[in-house]
Amino acid sequence: MNINALAYVLFVMAIFVVHFLFFLRHSPHILPKKLFFAGVVGWCVFIAYDRNLASAIWGLLLLCVLTFGYANASAFLRRGITFALIQNHRMPPAERLPDESFIQIRERITEMENHGWIENGAAQVVLTPTGRKTLRIYRFILRVLGAEVVG
Amino acid sequence: MSGVFAIDGELWIGFLAATIGVVVSEVIGRGRVLYGRLFLLVGVTVAAWATLRLLGRPRSPEMWVGSLLIDAVSIGAALLAWFGFRVHLSNSITLNLLTMLEDSPTPDQLEGRYGIASQTRKRVAVLQDSGYLDRTPEQMLVINPKSRLVLAILKIARGNRVRPL
């Protein structure tokens, strides 16, 4: 067993757990850049001690995969309509919002505009070349994985 | 085996097992919804991991604990990333809307195409079917112990905010 790798794993786990417990709810961002940076610092210390290329690649891959998974999971928890519906039904009936109000198509249009996928969507929603390319890639991945769109 | 592989190859066992699990579950479970083949994904990953570990050199119990932790974190990270990616692909409202834009609709037309009311009903029905919401005799939907557990996790991730981020 690689003791340096074990110390690195414990460090990475610790910073992610601390971020989840104390910082996630206050963060306006989906991608935790500061958390990733803290992980990179840990990785630098790890490779300084370990001095092995295979360990270094594994360590960086672990950090990237964990950050991607964490960002996805936190986005799912924080932006998920289904979770918002559960929270809504926790409220007394008089204080509940209409369930339909959680799906905001106009906000999604703005989001697509910010990504550069569509041109100004005020009157008509028109795909940009980037949007068409994204759509082609999306459909290709769906076809390869045999996935169905249900969102 | 070369020196590098002999010393550090074991660090890759977790990722390798997760990759085998993902590929096998995608091939065998093709066409089935992701949640329906979660057990297949986890089962194949654990089987692949156990096989790879048994093929490795025998080690002392204290070394097993450390290796187990490294493997568990590697597997957990890989499966979390893959699961999140797959769920996002199928469930993203924004990506779904992107597929409805080829004839440049107006925002109102897009809202009509998406069908907010029916999508909401579908989501509420799924929550009910999965046991997260109960219907009272007065036809009111209420939370239950199962959903309270989810709410405890949500409180950490998003506070008590009802609206999505």
All residues of chain B having their beta carbon less than 8 Å from the beta carbon of residue A151 are 90-93, 95-96
Whether the per-residue pLDDT at B25 is higher than 50: the answer is yes
Q: What is the pLDDT of residue B160?
A: 72
Residue pair B120/A100 in contact by the 8 Å Cβ criterion: yes
Residue B14 scores a pLDDT above 90:
yes
- Interchain CB distance below 8 Å, A6 and B70: yes
Query: Distance between CA atoms of B139 and A4, rounded to whole angstroms?
Result: 58
Mean pLDDT, residues B57-82 taken together: 84
Helix A81-90 to helix A53-79 angle, to the nearest 10 degrees? Answer: 50
The answer, yes or no, to whether residue B4 has pLDDT greater than 50, is no
Closest by CA to A71, choosing from B87, B137, B33, is: B87
> What is the pLDDT, as a whole number, of residue B5?
41
End-to-end CA distance of chain A: 44
Contact B84 A72 (CB under 8 A): yes
Would the pTM count as exceeding 0.90?
A: no
Mean pLDDT of chain B: 85
| Token digits of residue B111 | 């809202």
In this prediction, residue B3 has a pLDDT band, given cuts at 50, 70 and 90, of very low
Residue B127: closest C-alpha in chain A: A82
Residue type, B76: G
What is the nearest CA distance from B81 to chain A, expressed in angstroms? 4
Beta bridge partners of A118: A127
Q: Which residues of A81-94 are buried (b: 16+ CB within 10 A; e: fewer)?
A: bbbbbbbbbbeeee
Tens digit of pLDDT for each residue in A100-121? 998 989 989 998 999 999 997 6
3-state helix, strand, coil in chain B (%, to 5): 75, 5, 25
Q: Please provide the average confidence, as pLDDT, over all residues in chain A.
A: 90
Q: Which whole number is the average pLDDT over A78-93?
A: 88
- Pair of tokens at residue A71: 């960002």
**Which of A51, A60, A90 is most worth mutating to test chain B (most B CB atoms within 10 A of its CB)?**
A90
Residue B135: strand, helix, or coil? strand
pLDDT digits (tens, 9 = 90+) for B95-104: 999 999 999 9
pLDDT tens digit string along A29-49?
A: 777 889 999 999 999 999 999
Percent of the residues in chain B that have a pLDDT greater than 70, as a whole number: 88
Residue A1 pLDDT: 65
> How many Cβ atoms sit within 10 Å of the Cβ of residue B43?
14
pLDDT tens-digit profile of B127-140?
898 889 999 888 88
The per-residue pLDDT for B162 is 67
| pLDDT of amino acid A2 | 82
Query: Are the beta carbons of A100 and B165 separated by less than 8 Å?
Result: no
Closest CA to A16 of A78, A68, A58: A68
- CB nearest to A103's CB, from B70, B120, B150: B120
Tens of pLDDT, residues A58-83: 999 999 999 999 998 888 888 888 88
